[in-house]
Amino acid sequence: MIMLKLKNLFKQDEHKVDLENLPQHIGIIMDGNGRWAKKRGLPRSGGHAAGAKTFEKIIEDAGDIGIKVVTVYAFSTENWSRPKDEVDALMSLLEDYLDNGLERIAGRDVKIHFIGDSAAFSDKFQKKLAHMEKATRDNGGLLLNVALNYGGRAELTNAVKQIAEEVKNGEINPDEITEDTISKHLYTSGQPDPDLIIRPSGEFRLSNFLMWQGAYSELWFSDCLWPDFSKKELLEAISDYQKRNRRFGGV
């Protein structure tokens, strides 16, 4: 009897979501690890370790729900300004994911794509990024963009540089540059823009995340700190998104 009740409760959560009207692309700013750790008297690195577990769980949940593209903000161009021991802790968690993540997502139809300026990383690290992308490139289920050393402004600056080179080489005329030209020079080229951007931790800002792509994204904020974020919050965000009236400047 109790089992049945629990089952129904879970189903109710799922039922709040209309599977016919899912956001195609969800962006997630995985924020609040430091405060989560502080509340427990742990070092900030403990919060990042807990946050890394949440990341893996939420990716599974997003795939199960049927989301096609997820972009997670893992490390920003501004996060280098943190104390060295914290940056080192984050890098070793990332390295652990690069070394063992494939085993952990085995059997899951996830294609991994890293977005951001990877040139900042060591050759060894860059090889691991490339290996993970290559090993998952034929998976057609969930496309997972992991934003590493990512900044929306840096991404646009990079796009402008590439387009300027093409103009210089006579490959394109300045008059021919359109919004589409710019989109095609971003790390997310060819992907749909995020329909929904989720930011937990009680902050109401984008912190340089998907500045171009998020022009018409629906935003969802929550006080929940990232390590505590679960499928329940994900479903709540999707369900809330489904009640929005997206007008894109129309009526």
Residue whose CB is nearest to ligand IPE in the complex, by number = 34
The reply to whether 45 sits near ligand IPE by the rule CB under 6 A is no
Pick 23 or 47: Cβ nearer ligand IPE: 47
CA distance 61 to 67: 9
Pick 32 or 101: Cβ nearer Mg ion: 32
Cα dihedral 179/182/184/187 (nearest 10)? -130
Residue 31 among the catalytic residues: yes
CA distance 181 to 85: 40
The reply to whether 85 sits near ligand IPE by the rule CB under 6 A is no
The reply to whether 32 sits near ligand IPE by the rule CB under 6 A is yes
- Give the nearest distance from C-beta 33 to ligand IPE in angstroms: 4
Strand partners, 30: none
- Give the nearest distance from C-beta 3 to ligand IPE in angstroms: 36
Pick 137 or 205: Cβ nearer ligand IPE: 205
Tell me which of 79, 158, 193, 228 is the catalytic residue: 79
Please calculate the CA angle 197-40-95 and round it to the nearest 5 degrees: 60
Pick 73 or 121: Cβ nearer ligand IPE: 73
Judged by CB under 5 A, the chain residues 18 through 57 that form the site for Mg ion are: 31
Q: Which residues contact residue 66 at a Cβ distance below 8 angstroms, ignoring those fewer than 6 apart?
A: 19, 22
As to burial, measured by CB atoms within 10 angstroms (0-12 exposed, 13-18 middle, 19+ buried), residue 168 is: exposed
Residue 138 among the catalytic residues: no
- Give the nearest distance from C-beta 17 to ligand IPE in angstroms: 25
Pick 196 or 225: Cβ nearer Mg ion: 225
Strand ranges for 39-150 from DSSP E: 69-76, 110-115, 142-150
Q: What is the DSSP string of 68-97?
A: SEEEEEEEETTGGGS-HHHHHHHHHHHHHH
Amino acid at residue number 18: D
- Give the nearest distance from C-beta 168 to Mg ion in angstroms: 39
Q: Which two tokens stand for residue 239?
A: 């369900």
- Give the nearest distance from C-beta 201 to ligand IPE in angstroms: 6
The reply to whether 187 sits near ligand IPE by the rule CB under 6 A is no
The reply to whether 236 sits near Mg ion by the rule CB under 5 A is no
Residues that bind ligand IPE (CB under 6 A): 29-35, 73-76, 79, 90, 201, 203, 205, 207
- So which residues are the catalytic ones? 31, 79
